[in-house]
Structures are given as structure tokens and as C-alpha cells.
């Protein structure tokens, strides 16, 4: 059963209930493969995201970071052998470009590894996502991008909902007519395990232009 975690951002560490289900889901711990969100400038080493797993006692025999310093074919081998794949937070557009350039999306989609994404990484795990200047992207023209498509929904992760709910609804309304969108702030998680969706924190579901808060199940 494939398991995917769409995370917000955790300024401290994972809460106990999230750590517990991760412990249960991540059985094989041979290799953690992290995918940078700043792959072309070599700024991101995954220290923060790795510390979240360390803190709940999830350690691996091997740790790997994929960025532009790693050859494309070597990156593919790392993905194929990964126990857990972690798409790091940061620059959503740069990470999306890198995934396409290195032809990693289908490999990740077909992998049996547990896949995690934080913030930008979670957005890129989804089927489609909106790149809009009103949502904080430095672009002139808004566009919908294809993500990896691990599950058939969209994600807006780690966004200040409390002060921008009307903006979020307005921006995401067209895409919500096409697919469900899970909208979350920091300290949140959406777990897709097979056909089951679990929720941690303040997560909203937007569908056909209507939005409502989901009950926590983790």
C-alpha cells in the first residue's frame, strides 16, 4: 500500500501523533533520499527536514541528497533504491523544473518507498498546483503546473490561511472545479495511504469553489 505525506512546515519538531504514525509506516530504513528545492544553487542540504525524522527516532543506514551535483543516472538509481523519498521545502518552481529535467517524476510515482514532502515538496507531489503571484510566487503570469501526481488532488501547503482565506478561495476556485485541493498552514499534514486520507492540524478541503475545514484523524 503506497503511503504519501504532504506536510506543511514544522518550526519545532513533529508532534507525537505524527511521529507515531510515521514510525508505523516507515518500516524499511535502509536509505533516505532527499530531493533539493534549490538544486541549481546548492543551498539546501535537508538538515531541518532530516532533524524532524531524527527527533522521532527514525534513522537510516544511508542518507543521500539529490541536486545538480548528482548525475542524472545516479539520481535515478538512488530513487529506485530508496526506502523513503523526501522532497524538501523551499523553492517550488526550481524543484519542479529539476524533477522534469532529471526525469524523476515517474520514478517517484512508481516507487514503493514512503514519500514525504514539506511545503514546496508537498506541492510538487500533488497532481497539479497553481503558481500565482498572489500566492507568493515571483511570476508575471499565473499558471497551473503539473506535479508528480502521486494522488489525484492538488495541495496548497504552508500558507497563511488565517489572514488570506478569501484570497485563497478566489485564486484556487478555477482549479477546484477540476480536482480537490487540500489547503494547509504550517504544523499540518495530509497522509494518503492507499485510498484513505488522514488529517493533522488545520487543513481545509476546497472542492468546486467551496471550502470547509476537515476534522483531524491523526
Residue 218 counted as domain residue: no
pLDDT per residue as tens digits for the range 71-117: 999 999 999 999 999 999 999 999 999 999 999 999 999 999 999 99
Q: Which residues pair with 205 in a beta bridge?
A: 182, 212
Phi, psi at residue 28, to the nearest 5°?
Answer: -85, 130
Does residue 44 have a pLDDT over 70?
no
Q: Any idea what the Cα angle at residue 133 is, between residues 187 and 87, rounded to 5°?
A: 40
For residue 42, the model assigns a pLDDT of 66
Residue 20 counted as domain residue: yes
Alpha-carbon torsion, ordered 4, 9, 15, 21, to 10 deg: 0
CATH classification at residue 152: 3.40.50.880
Tell me which of 18-32, 52-66, 152-166 is least confident.
Answer: 152-166
- Tell me if 202 sits within 8 A of 188, measured CB to CB: yes
pLDDT per residue as tens digits for the range 56-71: 999 999 999 999 999 9
Residue 118 counted as domain residue: yes
Q: Which structural domain, as residue segments, surrounds residue 177?
A: 3-213
d(CA 124, CA 148): 6
Name residue, grid cell 539520481.
Answer: 75
Alpha-carbon torsion, ordered 142, 36, 183, 191, to 10 deg: 150
Q: How confident is the model at residue 161 (pLDDT cuts 50, 70, 90)?
A: confident
For residue 89, the model assigns a pLDDT of 94
Helix ranges, the chain (H): 16-25, 47-55, 72-80, 92-101, 105-110, 120-125, 165-176
Residue 18 counted as domain residue: yes
Residue 71 counted as domain residue: yes
Tell me the Ramachandran region of residue 158: left when phi exceeds 0, alpha when psi lies from -120 to 50, beta otherwise. left
For residue 104, the model assigns a pLDDT of 98
Tell me the Ramachandran region of residue 46: left when phi exceeds 0, alpha when psi lies from -120 to 50, beta otherwise. left
For residue 163, the model assigns a pLDDT of 81
Total tally of structural domains belonging to the chain: 1
Tell me the Ramachandran region of residue 136: left when phi exceeds 0, alpha when psi lies from -120 to 50, beta otherwise. left
Does residue 185 have a pLDDT over 90?
no
pLDDT per residue as tens digits for the range 138-154: 999 999 999 999 999 99
Q: What is the mean pLDDT of the chain?
A: 94
pLDDT per residue as tens digits for the range 11-21: 889 999 999 99
Share of the chain above pLDDT 90, in %: 88
Does residue 43 have a pLDDT over 80?
no
d(CA 130, CA 177): 13
Amino acid at each position: 500500500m503506497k503511503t504519501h505525506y504532504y506536510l506543511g512546515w514544522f518550526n519545532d519538531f513533529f508532534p507525537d501523533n505524527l511521529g507515531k504514525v510515521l514510525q508505523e509506516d516507515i518500516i524499511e530504513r535502509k536509505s533516505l533520499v532527499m530531493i533539493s528545492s534549490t538544486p541549481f544553487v546548492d543551498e539546501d542540504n535537508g538538515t531541518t527536514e532530516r532533524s524532524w525524522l531524527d527527533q522521532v527516532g527514525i534513522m537510516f543506514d544511508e542518507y543521500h541528497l539529490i541536486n545538480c551535483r548528482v548525475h542524472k543516472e545516479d539520481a535515478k538509481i538512488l530513487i529506485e533504491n530508496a526506502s523513503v523519498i523526501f522532497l524538501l521545502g523551499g523553492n517550488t518552481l526550481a524543484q519542479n523544473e529539476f524533477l522534469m529535467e532529471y526525469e524523476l517524476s515517474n520514478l517517484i510515482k512508481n516507487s514503493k518507498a514512503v514519500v514525504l514532502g514539506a511545503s514546496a515538496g508537498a506541492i510538487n507531489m500533488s497532481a497539479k498546483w497553481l503558481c500565482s503571484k498572489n500566492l507568493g510566487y515571483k511570476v508575471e503570469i499565473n499558471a497551473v503546473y503539473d506535479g508528480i501526481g502521486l494522488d489525484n488532488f492538488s495541495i496548497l501547503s504552508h500558507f497563511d490561511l488565517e489572514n488570506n482565506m478569501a484570497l485563497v478561495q478566489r485564486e484556487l476556485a478555477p482549479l477546484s472545479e477540476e480536482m480537490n485541493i487540500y489547503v494547509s498552514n504550517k504544523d499540518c499534514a495530509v497522509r494518503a495511504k492507499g485510498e484513505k486520507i488522514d488529517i493533522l492540524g488545520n487543513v481545509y478541503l476546497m472542492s468546486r469553489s467551496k471550502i470547509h475545514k476537515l476534522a483531524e484523524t491523526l
